[in-house]
Each structure stands twice: as C-alpha cells, then as structure tokens.
Amino acid sequence: MSEPTPSPPLPPYNVGDKFPVQWNRDDSIHLATIIESEYNSESNEWKFYVHYENFDRRLDEWVPETSVKPDATVSLPSTIDSLHQTQHSDASSDRTMTRQMKKKAALSQPSHHDQLDPATLELEKEHEELTKVKNIQEIQIGQYAMNTWYYSPFPEEIVQGTDKLYICEFCLKYMKKKESLLKHKKKCKYHHPPGDEIYRNDDLSVFEVDGARQKVYCQNLCLLAKLFLDHKTLYYDVDPFLFYIMVSCDSDGCHPVGYFSKEKNSAENYNLACILTLPCHQRKGYGRLLIEFSYELSKMEKKVGTPERPLSDLGRLGYMSYWKFVLINLLQNTQKGITIQELVDMTAIRHEDIVETLQELKLLGKKKSYHAVPHQRKAVDALHQQIRPRNVSIDPEKIYWIPYHERHRSQDSQSV
C-alpha cells in the first residue's frame, strides 16, 4: 500500500498580501499583491504570482519566494513620476518622450475603471478575477518566440502541463509541442491568410478574412490576440466580423505582423473593433499603418469612423499619435482657418476625436463644442517640426476593395 502524498507546508505569504517584490526585469523593488501561490514538492519551494501596484496587468508574473522582500524599501523609479508629468504637461510634443519612455509610461498607467459605468465595471472586475493568472507564458510563431501578456481561453487540454504554445504562422493552429508544429508545417496548405488580398505595396499586403467563412482561422486569431489584449472578449462568435490581417511577404509566404477587426454592421459607426501588432513587430510602424488602413476603408465607404471604446493604454497612445500626425500635416498646409467639419470630411476622423486631439495639441481651448480651428501659423509650424516623418504609409490607389454592404447589395440584385 503506497504512502499518502504529504500535504505541502503552509505558504509563507497568503493570497491578497502586499509586499515589496524584486522585479525580474531590472531588480528594482515594487509593491506587489500576491494573486496566486504554487508549491513545488520536488524542490520544496514556493513561487508566487504577483501584480505590481500601479502597473498594467501584462507585467504580472511568477516570482520565487526569494524575490519577496518584506523588509525592503519600495522606491518606484523617479522617472515614472516625471513621465506622467511630461506626458500631461506637454501633450503636443511627440519628441518629448522617447519610444521607450512612452512604453514605460503606458505600463504605469492607472486602471481605466473610472471610465466605466457601474454595470460595465462589475463585469470588468469579474473578467479580471477569471483571467487573473496567465495560463500560457510564451508562444513561438514563425521565427519569433515572445512572452505573453494576459490570460487567453485556449482549451484546457492544450494549456495543461505546458507554459509554451507553438503556433503555425499561416493557419494559426496551436500545438503543445515543437515536434507537432514541425510535422504540421509539412502538410499545412496555407502560405497566407485564407481570404482576399485587398492591398499590396512591395512586400506589404493586407488580407480580408470573413469570420463567417473562415471560423476556425478567425477563432485562432482571436485566441492569439487575447494573449496580448486584456479587454478583448470576442473569442468564438466571429461571424459578425471582418478581419484585416497585415502581412510581410517573402519567398516562404506571408508572415502576419498584425491585424484589426471591424463589425460588418456597426450601429455606432465603429471602423475598428480590435487592433493588435504582434509584440515582435511593435515599434516598426505597423500599428499606425493598421489605423491608417482602417480610415482609408472608411473613406471608401463614405463614412466617418472611430475605434470601439474603451481604448487600451497602448491603443490610445497609438490613435492619438495618428490623429496628431494627420491633423498637424493638414493644418500645416492650410493658409487660413478651417472648420472641424472640413477636417472630418478630409480625414474620416470623428468630430469628437478631432476636437480632443486639437485640445491636446493646445490648438483649441477646453470647451466641449467647436465649429472651426483658428489659423495659428507659428504654433502649427512648431508642432510640425516635432512630428516624426513616416517612411511608409498606405497608398490608397493600391487598395482593391468593395465595401461589404455594396458587395451584398450587388449579390442580392443579381439573385433577383
């Protein structure tokens, strides 16, 4: 008769406790809340899943017991406070903060709970409780291995017993073992997303994939995206959405760099539901290209667009950067005052988004309603000198696309 497995000892710290913890990234000390604990009976060691106070959940991580420092002094880097001051004191300057500084500032943003109504807030807290611990720590897709940021609801049989998933970059099928991926690659029939190529410029292409026609691919895409998007709730009901996958093409195929999705029928005129640039391709300009592409589609639909709310911290930074760039360039080429409606007509950017951006640029005051932008040559010239030129932009002449409703109207008329 086998001996019963001994119970693990009591953990030295409890779930919910707050202690100074040594951050794995740079050994600095931050106050953190213990979210979960786990005991390794072979090494007789505890590890703890912690959330760093005032930092985004994507930095939550497992740490060994030795990283918990009850007697240490917490000293948040002074740069974090100065970053917030800089970001709010001079929102007009894109060069005030380096890219790395912007990223740090975004990571240290407080929760967006204050933007939510009570019912949504309750759902948000429930979501955070259900997804509080990452179930996958790392993925391999193509030649890139990357750490994940958030929980994603992959099937339990897939994530059980592993910290890493292997994903085919062409069909997005996910596997537990590298050997399974190597076998799959030999028989995978895809070399690009399973949809229509609607844009090509040199080695950059965009494919439109219909969620109703390619359910498995789009569901796999959503599960992949959830690893890097905290508030994404669309996983399996992909039928009402179109997905636009941006790829970099070479002789081996079309490699995904990012995507956005949009509803086929949006009552709020959202031109974008979710957007993601894979972490291995971030800070290369793809995020701005995806945003720009969504607005080019809005122009072709003859509609005004705006992204679905709430925006994530990085999402808001990306959109504000794009809106500033577009508006500053337009105003720089204007020799007189211009109305807000004229800017809406030229850009397909929503009136409220234009006003908010111009207020951040200090080209408008804090009133809620505006009709026109006064001519401010010196201020606009100074702002124009601060923005970074773009090496790549979307060429509207190379978009081959018919809006979804026009396609279906045409099909309906042919079937009559």
Question: Cα dist. 114→186, 382, 414 in Å?
Answer: 50, 34, 50
Identify the burial level of 298 via C-beta atoms within 10 angstroms of its C-beta, where 0-12 means exposed, 13-18 middle and 19 or more buried. Answer: buried
Question: Cα dist. 81→85, 115, 161 in Å?
Answer: 6, 22, 40
Residue with tokens 């399996």: 236
Q: Comparing C-alpha atoms, which of 320, 324, 322, 221 is closest to residue 274? A: 221
308 in active site: yes
Q: How far apart are CA 410 and CA 67, in angstroms?
A: 63
DSSP string, 218-256: HHHHHHHHHTT-TT---SS--TTEEEEEEEEEETTEEEE
Question: What Rg, from alpha-carbon coordinates, does the chain have?
Answer: 24
Bridge partners, 196 (sequence order): 208
Identify the burial level of 326 via C-beta atoms within 10 angstroms of its C-beta, where 0-12 means exposed, 13-18 middle and 19 or more buried. Answer: buried
Q: Comparing C-alpha atoms, which of 196, 300, 170, 314 is closest to residue 248? A: 170
Q: How far apart are CA 205 and CA 355, in angstroms?
A: 32
Whats the size of the chain, residue-wise? 416
- From 197, 308, 356, 360, the catalytic residue: 308
**Which amino acids are annotated catalytic?**
308
